[in-house]
Amino acid sequence: MNDTSRQLRYALGTLCDRYNKMIADKDTLDFRLGSREPYGNTSNEVDAESAYLRESRDVSDDLRAIIIEMSDVARRIREIEGF
């Protein structure tokens, strides 16, 4: 294993950590969206359900980007190590 491979493995670990945190955030958002409890009043007349939905979609987009990046890093590791 060379230095580039080691750096890529570290980068992959960092991406995995970010992915895990984002999955937890997505689960929290989706749990709230699926809740049957009514949304309470918010300050500045913000529509809470729309805000949760927008955030859920944003996190989904970010998750897709991280998965693509993880796949690219893994491919580069395999190329370096000959797998």
CA–CA gap between residue 54 and residue 32 (Å, rounded): 13
Distances (CA, A) of 42 to 29, 35, 49: 17, 17, 11
Q: Would you say residue 38 has pLDDT above 80?
A: no
Q: Would you say residue 21 has pLDDT above 90?
A: yes
pTM, entire model: 0.77
Over range 40-50, report the average pLDDT. Answer: 78
